[in-house]
Structures are given as structure tokens and as C-alpha cells.
Amino acid sequence: MKKSIYITILTFISILYTSCTTQSKPEGFAVQQTFRLLQQMDSLSPNEFNSYFISLDELREIAKDTSVSKTFRNAITNVSKEVHYKRLQQSYEMIKESGKRFEIDWKDITFREYPFVMRDEDGITFQDGFVAFDYKEKKFVTKIVSIKYKDKQRLFNLSNIEPVRKQ
């Protein structure tokens, strides 16, 4: 009896120690892609940046599904490639500007966490979350939205980088 209690306690302590000392890595395709994108922001071209996001053609393929609402279908089919590209460019410039403003060396950021919620809207499964990361002694966060496409969450939207006010 004492031996099993001892083994249980030892196992618990080793699990606790491992979870406290192991640096967490991003889980899930969308968050992995987002974190990889952020780590490369100093060297990414606008076109390379765009490649991390679900394409307009892929969105239109999703919109063909009969379970998708007419509102979403119309919104996607009415967006031109130029407008889609312009929105991605705005996101790219916004992230680059944040890096300069907060003096972030992107390759040295470390992943902290990814809290998210799943929501179904207009027949689409969205994943809304925040990629939290650290740079030096400061904590930052960016909001991401991803869409399920061919059984993988694909990056749909990436918001501006913001410092966490309560450090």
C-alpha cells in the first residue's frame, strides 16, 4: 500500500515538474502557422505572408457547400481578388509596424499560449483565439480567426500585435 502511494506521488511530482519546465509549443495547425509566420516577420515578403492565409479560391470552394448560408456565400463571391489582396497587405503592414513600434526581434519571440473558442456561424466553423507570446520581458497578444478547410484550421484573419497591459 505504501509503495503504491509512493509511486503515485512520485509520478504526480514528475508530471508536475515536466509540465513546469517544458517550454510549451503551439498546438493546432492554425496556431502553428501563425506562430511560424510571426517568427519570420523580419524576412517575409508580402507574398510569403499571404501564403499563410486561406486563399480566396479556397474560400469560394467553401462557399459552394450547400450548408453555408447565402449571406456568407454572397460575401465571398462578391469579394474581388484585388480587395482580398489589399486586406492581406493591410494586415502585413500592420504587423510590420507593430514590430517596429514595440522593437520586436521576431525570431526571438517565444510562444506562451493559445486560448480559443469554436463557433459555428453561417454554416462555417470558426476558431477565434489569441496567440500570446513573449519577447524579452514583455508579453504580447494577437487575435486570430481560422476556418476549417479540408479538415484543417486555416488562418483567415490576423489582428494587430498588442502588448498585454497587465504584465
pLDDT per residue as tens digits for the range 8-43: 333 333 333 333 333 344 456 677 889 999 999 999
Q: Does residue 78 fall inside a structural domain?
A: yes
Give the chain's domain count.
1
Question: In angstroms, how far is the first alpha carbon of the chain from the final one?
Answer: 46
> Where in the sequence is the domain holding 99, given as residue range(s)?
27-161
Q: DSSP H helical segments within 54-155, as ranges?
A: 56-63, 70-77, 81-101
Q: pTM above 0.85? A: no
Mean pLDDT of the chain: 82
Q: Does residue 121 fall inside a structural domain?
A: yes
Q: Does residue 12 fall inside a structural domain?
A: no
**Cβ-based burial of 146 (10 A; exposed 0-12, middle 13-18, buried ≥19):** buried
